[in-house]
């Protein structure tokens, strides 16, 4: 069995979950090599928000250079080079985080300056007694909207326009001003909705997952929580064969099926980007998470999806495609909080906790666990549901 595990696996087209991993295996890398995990990381490199476009390009170029070095190396040398590559990426991610923080600080200074100018105008219009409480409310709500901003230049423009509108409405009645304040809350909610599918977006995922984990810790794990990750199988083939319009419609149908299997006000369906989705399952353990995942998988793949396709050189016609998905499920484990960050998940690629802060550590472990379960579903042949099993 050990010999079989360490053998070179390149014969089956079902082994690799993406073209990067397939290319690595064709180079003769062992099935359990760290480079297969790195290949999965390179495939999703565009989603690493702390790296600039230039840094992502640098990572890809470094990746190719390292691949040249692994030729004719023994397994220990291959693993050592892989760890060296990950160390270089980690240094880039840290520098990218510092750069992003500086940009956010500069932006917030500009935004607060715009808010301050408008607050002085409001203070001159509203009676002094009312102004104090109203200004505090405006500050709090506007700063809250910063967290959900979709574009820095856009939010600066929106804030200035919102206060101009408030200045005019405050001259008439307090009621109109309160209605205007509600419009700022609408801006915040719109910033966390995916425009293509109408479900939550990646910004919502990044904001809410740490909060859910903290609540889980506060309740000492008494209320279970599971994270589900879902990926459309061979989605690139759909786009290449039928075009991006059909690909978008397929994503909308998948999103609708995921949302229809949610408990209203409890579960949260999310489009992470591209053909990847997530589902927050509050009060759901691994067993029930797998059951829900199987229900979603079967509903998506049970019959072909039909779309109307329009072409410039012919009449519109129906196109039927079979859509399948791979799903990974991971349940939070309260025992993780007592394991050192460095020992918790030795296979982590995207998220390595720098310290033992329980909330951050469990959030990283949960996201990594669901991703590894999804990766296993892809590796085992796609169109299936897998749970995270740990080391």
Identify the pLDDT of residue 49.
61
With tokens 């750069």, the residue in question is: 99
Same domain as 211, residue 90: no
Over 50: is that where the pLDDT of 100 sits? yes
For residue 40, being part of any structural domain is answered with yes
Size (the chain), residues: 391
Tell me what percent of the chain is helix, strand and coil, each rounded to the nearest 5: 60, 10, 25
Q: Which of 98, 117, 141 is the last residue of a domain?
A: 98
Q: pLDDT category, 16, cuts 50, 70, 90?
A: very low
Residues 6+ apart with CB under 8 A from 383: 233, 297, 301, 324, 325, 326
Mean pLDDT computed over 73-92: 79
Mean pLDDT computed over 71-90: 79
For residue 56, being part of any structural domain is answered with yes
Residues of the chain with pLDDT > 70: what percent? 60
Tally of CB atoms within 10 A around 86: 17
Mean pLDDT of the chain, nearest integer:
77
Distant-in-sequence contacts of 164-167, Cβ < 8 A, 24+ apart: 164/118, 166/118, 166/122, 166/138, 167/118, 167/121, 167/122, 167/125
With tokens 């600066």, the residue in question is: 156
For residue 162, being part of any structural domain is answered with no
Structure tokens at 64: 């190719």
Q: Which of 98, 122, 145 is the last residue of a domain?
A: 98
Structure tokens at 358: 């329980």
Structure tokens at 175: 């009621």
Per residue in 231-259, pLDDT (tens digit) is 999 999 998 888 888 999 999 999 999 99
CATH number at residue 361: 3.30.70.270
Identify the pLDDT of residue 332.
96
Task: Report how far residue 352's alpha carbon sits from residue 346's, in angstroms, rounded to the nearest whole number.
Answer: 9
Cα 70 to chain center, whole Å?
31
Q: pLDDT category, 54, cuts 50, 70, 90?
A: confident
Over 60: is that where the pLDDT of 274 sits? yes
Task: Report how far residue 280's alpha carbon sits from residue 130's, in angstroms, rounded to the nearest whole number.
Answer: 41
Mean pLDDT computed over 375-379: 94
For residue 283, being part of any structural domain is answered with yes
In terms of Cβ atoms closer than 10 Å to its own Cβ (0-12, 13-18, 19+), residue 80 is middle
Q: How many CA atoms lie within 13 A of 109 on its CB side?
A: 6
Q: Which of 61, 80, 98 is the last residue of a domain?
A: 98
Over 70: is that where the pLDDT of 3 sits? no
pTM: 0.55
Choose between 101 and 73: higher pLDDT. 73
DSSP states along 37-53: HHHHHHHTGGG-TTS-H
Per residue in 291-304, pLDDT (tens digit) is 999 999 999 999 88
Structure tokens at 142: 């506007």
Q: DSSP label at 51?
A: S
Identify the pLDDT of residue 39.
75
Residue 304: which domain range?
202-387
Structure tokens at 334: 């309260």
Domain total of the chain: 2
Same domain as 363, residue 231: yes
């Amino acid at each position: 069995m050990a010999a079989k595990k360490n053998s070179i696996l390149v014969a089956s087209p079902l082994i690799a979950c993406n073209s990067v991993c397939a290319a690595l295996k064709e180079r003769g890398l062992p099935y359990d090599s760290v480079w297969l995990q790195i290949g999965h990381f390179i495939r999703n490199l565009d989603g690493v928000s702390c790296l600039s476009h230039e840094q992502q390009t640098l990572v890809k170029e470094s990746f190719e250079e390292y691949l040249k070095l692994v030729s004719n190396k023994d397994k220990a040398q291959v693993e050592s080079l892989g760890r060296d590559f990950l160390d270089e990426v980690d240094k880039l991610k840290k520098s990218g985080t510092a750069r992003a923080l500086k940009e956010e600080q500069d932006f917030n200074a500009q935004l607060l300056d715009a808010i301050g100018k408008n607050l002085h105008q409001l203070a001159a219009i509203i009676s002094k007694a009312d102004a104090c409480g109203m200004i505090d409310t405006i500050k709090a709500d506007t700063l809250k909207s910063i967290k959900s901003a979709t574009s820095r230049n856009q939010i600066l423009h929106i804030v200035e326009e919102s206060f101009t509108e408030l200045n005019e409405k405050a001259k008439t009645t307090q009621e109109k001003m309160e209605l205007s304040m509600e419009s700022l809350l609408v801006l915040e909610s719109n910033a966390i909705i995916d425009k293509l599918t109408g479900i939550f977006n990646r910004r919502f995922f990044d904001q809410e997952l740490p909060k859910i984990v903290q609540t889980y810790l506060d309740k000492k794990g008494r209320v279970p929580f599971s994270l589900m990750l879902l990926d459309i199988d061979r989605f690139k083939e759909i786009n290449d064969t039928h075009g991006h319009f059909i690909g978008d419609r397929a994503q909308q149908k998948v999103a609708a099926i995921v949302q229809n299997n949610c408990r209203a006000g409890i579960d949260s369906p999310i489009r992470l980007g591209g053909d990847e989705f997530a589902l927050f399952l509050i009060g759901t353990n691994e067993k029930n998470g797998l059951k829900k995942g199987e229900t979603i998988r079967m509903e998506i793949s049970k019959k072909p999806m039909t779309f109307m396709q329009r072409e410039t050189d012919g009449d519109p016609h129906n196109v039927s495609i079979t859509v399948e998905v791979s799903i990974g499920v991971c349940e939070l484990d309260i025992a993780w909080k007592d394991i050192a960050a460095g020992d918790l998940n030795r296979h982590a690629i995207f998220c390595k906790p720098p310290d033992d802060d329980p909330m951050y550590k469990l959030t990283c472990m949960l996201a990594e666990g669901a991703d590894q379960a999804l990766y296993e579903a892809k590796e085992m042949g796609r169109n299936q549901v897998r749970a995270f099993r740990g080391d």
